[in-house]
Structure formats: C-alpha cells, structure tokens
Structure 1
Amino acid sequence: MTTSTGRADAAQRPMSLSPSRASDFMRCPLLYRFRVIDKLPEKPSEAATRGTLVHAVLERLFDDPATERTAPRARAMVPGQWDRLLESKPELVELFAEDPRGERLSHWLEQAEELVERWFTLEDPTRLEPAERELFVETELQSGLRLRGIIDRVDVTPSGDVRVVDYKTGKAPRPEYAEGALFQMKFYALVIWRWKGLVPRRLQLVYLGSGDVLTYDPVEEDLERVERKLLALWDAIKEATETGEWLPRRTKLCGWCDYQAVCPEFGGTPPVYPLSVRPAESAGEDQGRMGPV
C-alpha cells in the first residue's frame, strides 16, 4: 500500500535492534515509530551535543602518549573538537544562533571542560591502553534478530578479561533505577558473548555529571535473560510494524520529546503510516508495558 504522501518507497521495516532503539520502544512505542519508521527530524539539544563533544575528547585523548594524557591537555582539546563537530554537523550552529555575544556558547564549552576534567578523578588514563574505542559491534542471534551498537571503550587485561566502558555526561541514577541504567551495557555484553563467545568480566558506567562509577559483573544467566527479553521486544516491534499500531505512552520524559505536535497524547496526529499493514488483531496490547531488563 502506497500512502498519499508517497513515503512508502523511502520507509523500511526495522532490520536490527540497538540499545537506544530498544529503550525507545520500552519507553514509548510511538517514539520508536517516529524515529525508526517515519525518521522524523529532531532538533539538536545542548545536553546531547555536549555529550557528543565530551565523548570525542575522551576518545581522541588516547591518541596521545600516556604521559601527555593530562587534565589540562584534555580541557584544551574541547574547543578544537567543537570546531570539528561543527564541520561534520553544520546544523549544530543553530544551538547558539541567538547568542550574538557568545556568552552561552562560552559557558556551554566550560561545562564540557568541567566534565572532561572530572573524568580524571574517576580513571587514570596514563594507566589505560584501550583495546578499542568507539567500537561498532554486531551479531545475529539464532532467531535471526540482528543486534548492533557502538561501545565507547573496551579494555582487555593481559589475562584476556574484557571490560566494557561507557561514558555518561549526566548524573548516576538512584539505586532503584540502576538496573534500567545497566540495560545498555548488558545489551553490549550479550552482543560480545554471541559474537566472540566470551562474557565480559566487567561492565562499567562512568557518570561524569555526578562523579560516580557504576560497575556490574555479568554471568551467562544474566545475558540469557537479556536475550529472551530482546526477543520478546522484537516480536512486539514486528507486530506493531505489520499492523501499524504504535501505542503512545506518556512518561515524565515527554516534556523533552520533539514529537509532541504529532503525538495523540498531546492532541497531535501522527503522519500517515508509510508501510503496508495487515488488519490488527490483538496487536500492541503489551507494548506500553515493556519493563526494563
């Protein structure tokens, strides 16, 4: 079925799952649809862009010899990495379009520098030689589900133990929400296990916003549970894709969503669904209740 907007030719059915998109669906199935099926644009945010900038600095710092990986050196890298980011994504200039004197930009860059500097209180880069940085990982499960993602850093000890590290520029979650925060890391651990046949020794989340480090040592039973959860999640995504039934789910995060204008929860109307559908039966009944792993 071709829609009146002609978008059916451009739209594609989901072919793989990443931690971010899995989290989107668990948070709000309609959000997943807008990002994956409709590919609706989103405005860049200062917080997300600052996270990208800090990640770039921490990645490139390891290009330098160990003795040169200092906090002043890392802070000094921030403006240059911001220029590189603008070159690759010119649209980011809109973030500070209404800042003619550059005061907001200066404060924003200073915040990024502070996050970078705080990292040195949590880890010692002079003693680290990452095996991988910004590593793209991908594997296909026996079910045919393809999992993929990008890991910030992978450390390997001389004995072969693997540590998966992810930087977060926000604050660490409260203990009752730690399990949800580890979902992304368990996802990566599952991919590595099914891809390489080994379970990472440690998963580590480094929260630069609060100066906390959250660690978890997974075992195979953990990852098997994650795999079952992802398979159930993928079944729900396929069902929604085939029926076109993507249920919105209102949460505290809706206030930061760019799609309120087209969300029924806020009086909006989603764009015409760009894929062919079959008649809905009992599709989507549990979409809004997918819990964290």
Structure 2
Amino acid sequence: MGTSTEESGTSTEAAGGPRALPAARGGSGERPAGARAARPGRPDSLSPSRAGDFMTCPLLYRFRVIDRLPERPSAAATRGTLVHAVLERLFDDPAPERTLARARSMVAGQWERLLADRPELAELFTEGTPGGDGGAAGGTGDGSGAADGAGSGAAEGTESGAAGDAGSGAAGGAVAAERLSAWLAEAERLVERWFTLEDPTRLEPAERELYVETVLDSGLTLRGFIDRVDVAPTGAVRIVDYKTGRAPHPDYASGALFQMKFYALVLWRLRGEVPSRLQLVYLGSGDVLTYDPTEADLRSVERKVLALWEAIRRATETGDWRPRRSKLCGWCDHQAFCPEFGGTPPAYPLLARPAESPEGDQGRMGQV
C-alpha cells in the first residue's frame, strides 16, 4: 500500500476534466427509499457492511438482517455521517470555491439537515443518554425536570421546587449545548484534515455517494454505496472511501481492504473494467492507504463472497447463528440477547431445519 493521494493515472484534476462514467444501477446516488423492510425476512443480497458483520459475529448479522433489532445511534457514527455529507456536497460548488472556509461553514447546516431528518439524534448530547458523548447521570436536558418541578411546587404551595428543577433543566440544556458544540468542532477538525490530504479544487468526481448493484452468475446480488468515484482523462478509475476513524495497523488492514475490493468487484462486473486504484482516506489519523487491484484479486474476492454467502444461507436455513466474542462486543447494542453475556436471542422468525452435520467456524474466512 502507498500513501500518496494524487498519483499519475488516477487523479482527476479539473484542468483535464474527468471522463464520464457509465451509469450503474441506482446510479442517481440516492439511497433507495424503503431499501430495508420493516419486518423480518430472509437475506436476499449482500453488502460490504453486512458481510463484515457476519465475519465479525454471525449472531450480529442475524440480529441486524433477520431480526432487525433496533440500535441506538452513536455520536461517532453520526459524526461520520455528517462529515461524509459535507465532503460530498462540497463538490456541488465550482472548483475555486471549494475552500476550507466554505467546507467548515457547511458543517452546521448539514447537521441541521441531518437533525431534521432524524430528530432523535438530538438526544445524543443530553445527559444520561446511551450512545452520547458523555452521558453522566443527571437531568435529561429536555426540559422535563422543570415541568415536573413546577407541578410539585404548586401542590406543596412553594416555589422552591419549581425554581430548583427549572435551574437543573437549564443546566442540563447548557451541558447538551456544550457537548454539541464540542462534537461539531471535532467534525470541523476532520474536515480540515481532509484538506491536508486532498485538494478538492483539483478534483472533479465522476460519482459521489454512488449506489451500485450487480447480480453474479450464481444469482447473488451484491450492492453498496461508494463515497466517491474518480475517472482520470486516461480512463483510469479510482474508488475512494472516507473513514473518520484512524488507520488500522497494517496487520489489521485486510477488513477495510475487503470492503474496497468488494466495491471494485461490483464495478468490474457492472462495467467490465478493473478499477485502477482503491483509496482509503483516514481523517482521524491523516493517513491515505492505496491499493491497485488486479483481476486475480477480484476473482479471489468473488470466491470469498460466494463462500461467505453459502455460510449465511446455511445459517438462515438451520437457524444456527453462533456468537463470537471479541473486543468489539463492548460496542454492541445486543448484549441482552447474546448467549455470550447470559442473554437469550429472540425466537427465530423464520422456518428452520435442523443442521445435518456440525458446521465449521461460522464467518471465519481467509484474507484476500
């Protein structure tokens, strides 16, 4: 892997202009409405995220894909969504206007858009809220304490209770505002770091937030969203993915590379050309990792994906979804249903048949 961002053959500088990229299915870039059903169902396609879930913990895959258990939003994941939105929409502006000041000014506005779509995200910054940026015990920060205190004070014929609880509610609101301000400032810092890694005035992406989908000869549907696709004047295609975390140690980079190779496989099957470069931009640490895939790489990924899908198919038919404890368990919302933590999974919502023989280690796949 290299660490260069603007290397010959894959950069799409505004001066030369990008070549048009043939449309992919769903190529509008919008996430399809109703793409995820509200009730349990059998898996019918595979994305890099869900493939990663199964390789991490087959039971987690079941909870997310079949049971569709709700999960709390997290401040870190939401910040990632916000930063992605800023970096995507910055390219709506003419190249000379894609400045750091312009990008920073977009953070608050994109947060308001996100909040309008998902009002529950405001709870990330109130005290005592799981998944927030600090959740110490105390008031809720939503003003309920003031209302309850006023009623209590009136019933007792005093004003002290109302005044005290109103003050507590105001303090909670101030804490929430402070947390939100710090959270937005961190999002701005991530955007600033991007400008040290890439120059948006010299880039003209062919696609942004591109939805891609293809059906393999086996009948398996692969799908996903690509952050950015660049096409150089030479026709070389570069797939770019933004990460708001830190770059992994090289010994643990295979997971992120699998995601990128997955995208490359889909584009190859859609358009018949192997992408020239895969690029991971880590805003948390300021690293850029690149990989130049070959056709042999992508055939290997396809074999791995098909083997993974076969394991998912067997687990779906038998209902045998095994948990796998790892350091990631500490961030899992489903410990109450996990046998590794003394929990019991919900009743399996699909018809299942007994396994004919014990299966191997679910989800454990070799590196590609």
Same-fold call, TM > 0.5? yes
Instruction: State which of 260, 272, 292 in structure 1 corresponds to 2:335.
Output: 260
Task: Render the CA deviation track for 1:186-227: whole Å, top value 9, x for unaligned.
Answer: 000000001110100000000000000000000000000000
> Among residues 278, 281, 289, which one is paired with 1:214 in the alignment?
289
Alignment partner, residue 25 of structure 2: none
Structure 1 counterpart of 2:236, one-letter code: D
C-alpha deviation, 1:84, in angstroms: 0.1
Match of 1:26 among 28, 52, 55: 55
1:4-23 paired onto structure 2 within 5 Å: 10-23=39-52
Distance (whole Å) between structure 1 residues aligned to residue 179 and residue 250 of structure 2: 34
- Displacement, 1:285? 2.5
- 1:138 and 1:195 map into 2 onto residues whose CA distance is 8
Select the residue among 186, 195, 209 that pairs with 1:111.
Answer: 186
* Matched position secondary structure for 2:233: coil
Distance change (3 Å), C-alpha of 1:139 and 1:288: closer
Alignment of 1:68-83 (within 5 A): 68-83=97-112
Corresponding residue of 1:47 = 76
One-letter amino acid matched to 2:101:
P
Quote the Cα distance in structure 2 between the aligned partners of 1:87 and 1:218.
40
Contact kept? 1:243, 1:283, Cα under 8 Å: no
Paired position in structure 1 for 2:217: 142
Stretches of 4+ moved more than 6 A in 1?
A: none
Alignment RMSD: 1.1
Aligned 8 A contact 2:88 2:208 in 1: yes
1:67-122: CA deviations, max 9, x gaps? 11011111111011000000111121111133511111100000000000100000
C-alpha distance in structure 2 between counterparts of 1:229 and 1:65, whole Å? 42
Deviations 1:14-70 (A, max 9, x none): 000000000000000000000000000000000000000000000000001111101
What corresponds to 1:4 in structure 2? none
8 Å CA contact 2:242–2:282 kept in 1: the answer is yes
Equivalent position SS for 2:321:
coil
SS in structure 2 opposite 1:214?
A: strand
1:292 is displaced (CA, Å) by 4.2
Is there any run of 5+ residues in structure 1 with no aligned partner, and where?
1-8
1:210-246 Cα deviation digits (max 9, x unpaired): 0000000000000000000000000000000000000
Kindly provide the amino acid, as one letter, of the partner of residue 42 in structure 1. E
Q: How many residues align?
A: 285
CA distance change for structure 1 residues 88 and 283 in 2, over 3 Å: closer, same or farther?
farther
Residue type at the aligned position of 2:173? P
Shift in alpha-carbon separation, 1:186–1:116, aligned structure 2, 3 A: same
Aligned to 1:5: none
Note the C-alpha offset of 1:10.
Answer: 3.1
- Secondary structure of 1:278 counterpart: coil
CA distance in 2 between partners of 1:208 and 1:265 (Å): 34
For 1:177-256, what aligned pairs fall within 5 Å after superposition? 177-256=252-331
CA separation in 1, counterparts of 2:45 and 2:62?
14
Q: 1:77 to 1:97 in 2, by over 3 A?
A: same
TM-score normalized by the length of structure 2: 0.76
**How far did 1:159 drift?**
1.4
Of 119-128 and 98-107, deviating more is: 98-107
Report 1:90-109 matches (<5 A): 90-98=119-127, 100-101=173-174, 102-109=177-184
Structure 2 unaligned segments of length 5 or more: list them.
1-37, 128-171
**Following TM superposition, by how much is the alpha carbon of 1:283 offset from its aligned partner in structure 2, in angstroms?**
5.1
Which of the residues 217, 231, 247 maps onto 1:156? 231
With over 3 angstroms needed to count, the CA separation of the structure-2 counterparts of 1:117 and 1:141, relative to structure 1, is same
Of 246, 270, 278, which residue of structure 1 is paired with 2:345? 270
Q: Distance in 1 between matches of 2:366 and 2:71?
A: 25
Which is further off, 56-65 or 86-95?
86-95
1:66 match: 95
Matches of 2:363 and 2:308, distance apart in 1: 11
Rounded to whole Å, the distance in 2 between the matches of 1:94 and 1:283 is 45
Shift of 1:178: 1.8
Task: Give the drift of 1:290.
Answer: 2.9
Paired residues of 2:265 and 2:302 also in contact (CA < 8 A): yes
- The TM-score normalised by the length of structure 1 is 0.95
Between structure 1 and structure 2, the one with the greater Rg is 2
Determine if contact 1:240/1:283 at 8 Å carries over to the other structure. no
Partner SS state of residue 150, structure 1: strand
Percent of aligned pairs with the same amino acid: 76
3-state SS of 1:289 partner: coil
2:64 corresponding residue in structure 1: 35
Give the Cα–Cα distance (whole angstroms) in 1 for the partners of residues 242 and 216 of structure 2. Answer: 27
